[in-house]
């Protein structure tokens, strides 16, 4: 095993199911990496709404305490025997990022090597730590609705983290995106290649005015009834409507719903990680970061995230 040594680390865990009051920063013993594993000293931990949602509802108590955080950037401190990282190679000291891991809100973590990729030098740690959960979600939304060159797409929640990634990836596909946002977030939609439209009463008519030839696909990143109703009104083919938030409405109305815990979604998202890292390294996929917090202030950061519209991604810095 190639190593600088492992030991104790700080991890945020959920000690129960519920709100942010169940989150606790604890000392844990970081296991040395076995075959197919690596240890990362965390430089930045990405933050996503899914981090708190994972424990918001009652679940299997035998899984407690639950480590929090799905993605990080950091430095390799140990590699298991005969182990290479997901993008190939890897040595102690290399700068990396990792996604679909458990326990990213930490100072050090041992994770599957297949989840780890070399961090492009052009990406700051807090950007790299926030690239893949939102980016993979966006990629799957475009994939399952068959978005391609010449399509006109209606995107609900265009100024959020997933929406911003959809805008950039859709532009690379040659698609046109009309994106819903609050009036004070319209510039964000324009910055990343979309055409902003204000949500609220009359949304369908405003979209028709912008896209008189029709809308080919609708992508819902917010889950409101308005988003679903307008999508159903404007898109004839329900297989070209997808949501990541309105699961019940999808089941009722026969359009697509995707999520990271679904096996097909997980497999697709894992398959596009390396490509998204490559695009980000080329400057084709930007990750706007609004603010960073010390690791010890994770609960305050989650409160800001849950409040909505933090203005970009948030990261924890150990």
The pTM assigned to this predicted structure is 0.96
Mean pLDDT computed over 161-175: 98
Residue 87 has pLDDT above 90, yes or no: no
pLDDT per residue over 256-305, tens digit each?
A: 999 999 999 999 999 999 999 999 999 999 999 999 999 999 999 999 99
Tell me the angle at which helices 225-234 and 203-210 cross, rounded to the nearest 10 degrees: 40
**Tens digit of each residue's pLDDT (9 = 90 or more) over 179-220:** 999 999 999 999 999 999 999 999 999 999 999 999 999 999
Q: Decide if 287 contacts 280 (C-beta within 8 A).
A: yes
Mean pLDDT of the chain: 96
In Å, what is the CA distance from 208 to each residue of 87, 154, 219, 231? 44, 10, 16, 12
Per-residue pLDDT tens digits for 100-154: 999 999 999 999 999 999 999 999 999 999 999 999 999 999 999 999 999 999 9
All CATH 3.40.50.720 domain ranges in the chain, comma separated: 137-257
Nearest residue to 71 via CA among 44, 39, 33, 36: 44
Question: Does the structure show a pLDDT above 90 at 3?
Answer: no
Does residue 6 surpass a pLDDT of 80?
no
Residue 7: pLDDT band with limits 50, 70, 90: confident
Q: What is the mean pLDDT of residues 8-14?
A: 97
Question: Within a 10 A sphere around the Cβ of 251, how many other Cβ atoms?
Answer: 10
pLDDT(19) > 80? yes
The pLDDT of residue 309 is 79
What pLDDT digit, counting tens, does each position of 223-239 carry?
A: 999 999 999 999 999 99
Q: 70-89 b/e with 16+ CB inside 10 Å = b?
A: bbbbbbbbbbbeebebbbee
Q: Mean pLDDT, to the nearest integer, of 149-165?
A: 98
CA angle 111, 114, 116 (to 5 degrees): 65
Beta bridge partners of 106: 11
Q: Is 2-131+287-317 CATH 3.90.180.10?
A: yes
The yes or no reply on domain 137-257 and CATH 3.40.50.720 is yes
- 117 vs 47: CA distance, rounded Å: 18
């Amino acid at each position: 095993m190639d190593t600088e040594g492992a030991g104790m680390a700080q991890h945020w865990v959920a000690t129960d199911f519920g709100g942010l009051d169940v989150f606790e920063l604890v000392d844990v013993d970081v296991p040395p990496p076995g075959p197919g594993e690596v240890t990362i000293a965390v430089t930045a931990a990405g933050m996503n709404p899914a981090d708190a949602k994972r424990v918001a509802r009652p679940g299997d108590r035998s899984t407690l305490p639950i480590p929090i955080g799905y993605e990080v950037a950091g430095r390799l401190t140990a590699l298991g025997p005969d182990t290479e990282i997901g993008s190939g190679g890897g040595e102690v000291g290399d700068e990396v990022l990792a996604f679909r891991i458990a326990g990213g809100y930490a100072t050090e973590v041992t994770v599957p090597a297949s989840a780890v990729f070399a961090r492009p030098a052009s990406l700051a740690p807090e950007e790299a730590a926030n690239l893949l959960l939102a980016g993979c979600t966006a990629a799957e939304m475009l994939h399952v609705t068959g978005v391609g060159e010449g399509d006109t797409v209606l995107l609900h929640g265009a100024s959020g983290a997933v929406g911003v990634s959809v805008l950039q990836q859709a532009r690379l596909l040659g698609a046109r995106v009309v994106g819903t946002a609050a009036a004070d977030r319209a510039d964000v939609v324009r910055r990343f290649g979309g055409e902003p439209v204000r949500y609220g009463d009359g949304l369908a008519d405003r979209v028709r005015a912008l896209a008189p030839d029709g809308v080919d696909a609708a992508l819902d990143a917010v889950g409101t009834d308005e988003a679903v109703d307008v999508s159903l009104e404007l898109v004839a083919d329900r297989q070209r409507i997808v949501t990541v938030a309105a699961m019940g409405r999808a089941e009722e109305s026969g359009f697509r719903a995707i999520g990271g815990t679904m096996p097909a979604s997980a497999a697709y998202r894992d398959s596009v990680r390396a490509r998204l890292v490559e695009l980000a390294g080329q400057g084709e996929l930007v990750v706007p970061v609004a603010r960073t917090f010390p690791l010890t202030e994770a609960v305050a950061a989650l409160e800001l995230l849950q409040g909505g519209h933090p203005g970009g991604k948030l990261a924890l810095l150990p």
